[in-house]
Amino acid sequence: MLRRSLRPKRLIRAGSLLRASSRCAIPPSARPVRQWPAPCRVRASCPFNTRFYTSSSGFPAIGDTIYALSTAQGRAGIAVIRISGPSCLDIYKALCPSRAIPKPRYAVVRTLHDPALSSPQEAAVLDSEALVLYFPGPKTVTGEDVLELHVHGGPATVKAVLAAIPRPSTANGSTTSPPRIIRYAEPGEFTKRAFINNRLDLAQIESLSDTLAAETEQQRRAAVRGNSGALGRTYDAWREQLLQARGEIEALIDFSEDQHFDESQSELLESVTAQVDDMLRGIRLHERGSQRSELLRNGIRIALLGPPNVGKSSLMNLVVGREASIVSGEAGTTRDIVEASLDIRGFLCSFADTAGFRSKASMLKHGGLNAGPIGAVEEEGIRRAKQKAQESDIVVALASVEEGADGHFIYYDEETLDLAAQAQACMIVVNKADAVDAAQLEVLLRQFRQAIAEKKADLGDATGLIKISCREAEANSSRGADPGGIQGLIDALVGSFSRMTEMPVDLQDLLGVTERQRQLLLKCRMHLEDFMVEAQPDEEEGRDADTVLAAEHLRYAADCLARITGRGEAGDVEDVLGVVFEKFCVGK
């Protein structure tokens, strides 16, 4: 049996690669150093009137010491300034002369002095009481020495301390070596150094980005689930498994005539195929988790459909809590899409009020209600409403209780029910429930259910109608537990949100899968499915298994997994890093 230690030749670690890269190497002593005037000429320029050094290439070297304001700019009680790199202790000694280096990971109170002023004058004090913490590498957030200054949050104090931090670089008295490089950090550079020093993988970094961007409780929970590192460990394990299988197959191809193997080609392919089949099931679960997590990240899209004057705009205003749409008794008031986003019990939602649907058949069926010619503008509004329904995750089809020549009836549009049936989730809501008494309303609802069941079988459970009264909710908003039934509708929506985003308890971490990871998992799955085809002999065509192509598909699949965590080859790392780190702010 071939030893399990066999590996392909081109394995390379991203951390080692970036350290060896010409763009990230520590500049040699012979490299000239240029001093730029403020502001610094890098993409994330320092917002303060200060000077610092950077390498002549213009690209930040990994040996630089970087600093930035980690808290928000503006007046605050406390401002946190983070410093990372080999010059942390030099900066501390310059800011706190004659004071001992603090015990690692212990907070101490220090008076910060301006290194440019040597005399102990009052003007030399930057902050009389600052909290200082020193974290020696490599077990830090960036894998390097880290110094944190918790200063008073006044803008002038923060500006003065930031201006003083790079001054130790100009105080270096050596004439044979360039000054130490201390510069303002680029956006996301602290996190990038954590990645380079193997403190975080890309899956954890994307989860951190989601944590910083989270606006709702469900977004926060999804982001936290991806921060454990479990996803990255899973993808690394899958990749190692594929590389091992590929190595065994290629060894069998190259050395089968010279060496004796305990397994034949068919036995080896059968064993690898079983492993790949298990992996495919796991990848499909991760793709499913990504689809649910995207609903939490980007928001659940809800379209309100229905004929004119059934209360779509009134309902939207009640749900969002403000006058987002114009409400009028005149039919056709809403011609374009009106959208509003809000947080409903931790779920980010986007509601879309659409133009009313009208057709000749609908007008004839309901005794000419809202009859009249359909103009070009109204027709365009209906077209956009259809498009919005097709793009939405939930379609709410509205009907209403109306009074005609022969008594009361439920006014609805069949095309809106068709669009609701095609959606991922749908609801049918009957407005103006207060227009008739309870007994008559039940008769009308029963007739409506029968009509839906006969003509719209695809609606399924949506025939559990929700009855509301926007007029009653507006008139009695401060009375009772649920005037007009609006809270009952919101309860039903939240139930749909939960069903659309839920995952089993043991698979909760999969909600941390991002869209970028899902796309790479999709490519990986396609290569593994191609492997399954090439690894199986075709008896009808008399074709043997193509082990060469099968091994290549394993390589491509492993490359996709490597790009997820950023631990792949050179091209993988450079292509992915820019996409991920551009989302971060300065100081993170």
| Confidence (pLDDT) at 40 | 35
Amino acid type, 269 = L
Side-chain half-sphere of 165: how many Cα atoms within 13 Å? 28
Amino acid type, 85 = G
| Confidence (pLDDT) at 184 | 94
pLDDT at 330 over 70: no
| Confidence (pLDDT) at 360 | 57
pLDDT in tens, 217-248: 888 888 887 777 788 889 989 998 998 888 88
pLDDT at 175 over 90: no
Higher pLDDT: 11 or 185? It is 185
C-alpha torsion sign, points 17, 22, 23, 25: positive
| Confidence (pLDDT) at 575 | 45
| Confidence (pLDDT) at 65 | 94
pTM above 0.85, yes or no: no
Amino acid type, 340 = A
Is residue 120 classed as helix, strand or coil in its secondary structure? coil
What's the whole-number mean pLDDT along residues 108-122? 80
Radius of gyration of the chain (CA): 32
Name the pLDDT band for 55 (thresholds 50, 70, 90): very low
Higher pLDDT: 303 or 363? It is 303
Higher pLDDT: 47 or 279? It is 279
Which of 234, 185, 143, 344 lies closest to 565 in space, CA to CA?
234
pLDDT at 458 over 90: no
| Confidence (pLDDT) at 478 | 54
- What's the rounded Cα separation, in Å, for the pair 240 and 256? 23
pLDDT at 307 over 60: yes
| Confidence (pLDDT) at 140 | 93
Is residue 303 classed as helix, strand or coil in its secondary structure? strand
| Confidence (pLDDT) at 373 | 64
End-to-end CA distance of the chain: 49
| Confidence (pLDDT) at 87 | 93
pLDDT in tens, 280-300: 999 999 998 888 888 888 899
Which of 410, 402, 423 lies closest to 305 in space, CA to CA?
423
pLDDT at 213 over 70: yes
pLDDT at 322 over 60: yes
Contacts of 158 (CB under 8 A, 6+ apart): 69, 73, 79, 81, 151
What's the whole-number mean pLDDT along residues 502-517? 83
**Sole residue written with tokens 């095609």:** 422
- What's the rounded Cα separation, in Å, for the pair 399 and 410? 7
| Confidence (pLDDT) at 44 | 38
- DSSP symbol at 186: P
| Confidence (pLDDT) at 30 | 35
Element (H, E) at 431: strand 425-431
Torsion angle (degrees, nearest 10) of CA 87, 89, 93, 95: 70
Ordered alpha helix ranges (H), 456-512: 470-475, 486-501
Higher pLDDT: 363 or 21? It is 363
- What's the rounded Cα separation, in Å, for the pair 167 and 170? 5
Q: Which of 40-49, 450-459, 486-495 has the highest mean pLDDT?
A: 486-495
Q: Which of 300-314, 443-457, 469-483 has the highest mean pLDDT?
A: 300-314
pLDDT at 125 over 60: yes
What's the whole-number mean pLDDT along residues 158-165? 94
How many Å is the maximal CA-CA distance in the chain?
A: 101
- What's the rounded Cα separation, in Å, for the pair 550 and 529? 10
| Confidence (pLDDT) at 584 | 54
Name the pLDDT band for 198 (thresholds 50, 70, 90): confident
| Confidence (pLDDT) at 115 | 87
| Confidence (pLDDT) at 135 | 96
Name the pLDDT band for 122 (thresholds 50, 70, 90): low
- What's the rounded Cα separation, in Å, for the pair 383 and 381? 5
Chain-wide mean pLDDT for the chain?
A: 78
- What's the rounded Cα separation, in Å, for the pair 574 and 576? 6
| Confidence (pLDDT) at 193 | 92
Separation of CA 25 from chain center:
31
Cα angle, residue 298 at apex, residues 295 and 300 outer, rounded to 5°: 50
Higher pLDDT: 170 or 186? It is 186
Element (H, E) at 525: helix 515-534
Instruction: Please report the domains of the chain, with CATH numbers, ordered by start residue.
Output: 1-30+202-298+514-588 (1.20.120.430), 34-186 (3.30.1360.120), 302-501 (3.40.50.300)
| Confidence (pLDDT) at 53 | 36
- DSSP symbol at 543: B
pLDDT at 576 over 50: no
C-alpha torsion sign, points 315, 320, 322, 325: negative
Strands (E), 278-416: 300-305, 338-344, 347-353, 394-404, 407-411
| Confidence (pLDDT) at 405 | 76
| Confidence (pLDDT) at 391 | 93
CA of 581: how far to CAs of 97, 172, 209, 471, in Å? Answer: 36, 32, 9, 50
Cβ pair 163, 112 in contact under 8 A:
no
Q: Which of 127-131, 212-216, 259-263 has the highest mean pLDDT?
A: 127-131
Hey, what are 244's tokens?
A: 């091992």
pLDDT in tens, 6-52: 333 333 333 333 333 333 333 333 333 333 333 333 333 344 433 33
Q: Which of 125-139, 374-388, 544-558 has the highest mean pLDDT?
A: 125-139
Higher pLDDT: 438 or 30? It is 438
